[in-house]
Structure 1
Amino acid sequence: MSAKTLNFANFKGGVGKTTTGVMVATLLSKFGHKTLVVDFDPQGNASEMLMLTSGKQTIPKTIYEGIQDQTLMDCVMEIDENLDLIPSDMDLVGLPLYLNKTAKNDMEKRAYLMDFLLEPLKEQYDYIIIDAPPTISDYTNNAVVASDYVILVMQTHPWSYRATEKFVPYLQEMIDSYGTSIELLGIVPVLLKKDSKTDIKILENASAKYDTHLFESTIMIRERVKRYATTGITNDLIHDRKIRQMYGSLLKEILERIEQLNHVKQQ
């Protein structure tokens, strides 16, 4: 077992990347895949959602404490069967200062910190999901370098579309600069309104520009999903089943794309 590492990303906040990553991780665990969520965002939204889901209120160690200790082993907390979390908190805002002290002039060491720390954990999991802030920063650089696949989450809004346009060349720059083998697995459209002319137009533009990189599965903004931020992920009502089906369709496509890429590499 050696985990496949995924990073759900965009340079625009509020597009649903954290929720998408958490939902995909949750479904992976339900399907029997040992999954680890790494919350690499000082806001800690992924941690909050998963801890609300599990009912747990205390954490062993934050990811930043693990970074300072040079091991993340003691940070891992169980959320559910097959689902673990490395939690984050506001102390992670200290990362840039920490890197200035430990790797100020070594850009490669600076970018490979998370990759180095996650390596000992990869044999314990099938999938690792990294959630990072929507910024060009040490956080995003580390998340990208540590990942096998990047999935861009693009809300059908002009700002989110333009942020996606900026992320693609950034990703190529990271590949060129650090020699990583990361793949852009695809772009997930998150629709604000199904019949909105703006949404439809942006979706058409994205389809024309990114072609097969655009996932066929789409995520609709639903009130039920917004509630998960305050209730955690619930599984008891018909609305929850519809949400699981929506993200389940995306997960199926994600796994198919990973399998296709692996098949190509083996040829």
Structure 2
Amino acid sequence: MGATISFGIQKGGVGKTTTTAISSFLLAEKGYKVLAVDFDSQGNLTGMLTQQNIYDFTDHTVLQAVKEKNPIPYIHKVSDNLDILPAEDFLSILPRYIYRENKGHPAILLRETLEVVKEEYDFIMIDLPPNLGDHTINGLTASDYAIVMLQSEPFCYDALDRYMEFLQGVQDNTNPDLILGGILTTMLDARATIDSSILEQAKDDFEDLVFESVIRRKSRVKEFSIEGIQNRLKADRIALEPYQRFIEELIERVKERQVQ
């Protein structure tokens, strides 16, 4: 299948990292070979998937991989089918490297880096930071598909149009093959009327771009960030079920595009 998929929007706390982590975990459980790429200097994807301190990976991160345009020495094995290119907060200096030392095109560094190993993975999953800067441009330029995260609250909904414009800019300037994979609604509180109304408004505005799958708030999901993602108990299966439905939709959309 060989698809590179990024998760983003210019808002923090909307479930990007959790969705990237759990989706990577579940795809690996299904037998797909997955590389998770932490491209956010907070390193939360690294912490969640490895259950290690992010500073354990200092000098062995995606930043070094990008500088050398070779990820192989910096890929960390999480499980049989799941690897990660980790990050820690020195990744924040990427723009300085891009404009002071890099001699190539500033937007294609991550793409060139991942091309070295792309054929070895069924899915490469990129966790983007909550901004519209160089990290996000590089992540989207490296992607085949962009998943837009929509937390069901007004500020995040207001950011949708600008992120869509940003995606169009990437398509026009650095990655004409980028496909909008869809809009995923996250952290929905079924008890809040405004959450449901925002979801309905998104469906009215963006129609079938909105995934049928909806990620609702679950306390067990929060615990995964501390304990690691697990799929052993009934509570785990209940918490993971919406993500299972999402990746099934995602796989179907990728297959449909690849057939076209």
Say yes or no: TM over 0.5.
Answer: yes
- The answer to whether residue 143 in structure 2 is matched with residue 144 in structure 1 is no
Measured in 2, the distance between the counterparts of 1:231 and 1:6 equals: 25
Contact 2:61 2:88 in 1 (8 A): yes
Hey, what's the Cα distance between the residues in 2 that align with 1:250 and 1:74? Answer: 32
Deviation at 1:197, TM superposition (A): 1.1
Q: Is 2:146–2:179's contact at 8 Å kept on the other side of the alignment? A: yes
Equivalent positions of 1:79-94 (< 5 A) are 79-94=78-93
1:254 equivalent in alignment to 2:250: yes
Letter in 2 for 1:27: L
Are the structure 2 counterparts of residues 198 and 67 from structure 1 closer, same or farther at C-alpha, using a change threshold of 3 Å?
same
- Is structure 2 residue 121 aligned with structure 1 residue 125? yes
CA apart distance, 1:179: 4.3
Q: Equivalents in 2 of 1:86, 1:162: separation in Å? A: 32
Tell me, in whole angstroms, the C-alpha distance in 2 between the residues paired with 1:8 and 1:136.
13
2:4 paired with 1:5: yes
1:95 corresponds to: 94
Structure 1 segments unaligned to the other structure (5+ residues): none
- Tell me if structure 2 keeps the 8 A contact 1:191–1:199: no
Measured in 2, the distance between the counterparts of 1:46 and 1:197 equals 31
Instruction: Please name the residue that 2:24 is paired with.
Output: 25
TM-score scaled to structure 1, two decimals? 0.92
CA RMSD in angstroms, aligned pairs only:
1.8
The 1:15/1:178 distance shift into structure 2, 3 A limit, reads: same
CA distance in 2, matches of 1:166, 1:36: 29
Distance 2:2 2:258 in 1: 14
Question: Per-residue displacement from partner, 1:86-126 (whole Å, max 9, x unpaired)?
Answer: 1001111110110111348x7xx100000001101111111
Q: Secondary structure at the match of 1:252?
A: helix
SS at the partner of 1:189? strand
Equivalent positions of 1:1-267 (< 5 A) are: 3-52=2-51, 58-59=56-57, 61-103=60-102, 109-264=105-260
- Measured in 2, the distance between the counterparts of 1:193 and 1:223 equals 12
* Amino acid corresponding to residue 109 of structure 2 in structure 1: L
Question: Shift of residue 34 of structure 1?
Answer: 0.4
Distance 1:94 1:79 in 2: 26
On the 8 A contact 1:234/1:240 being kept in 2, the answer is yes
Secondary structure of 1:188's counterpart equals: strand
The one-letter amino acid paired with 1:205 is: Q
Aligned residue type for 2:213: S
CA distance in 2, matches of 1:203, 1:233: 27
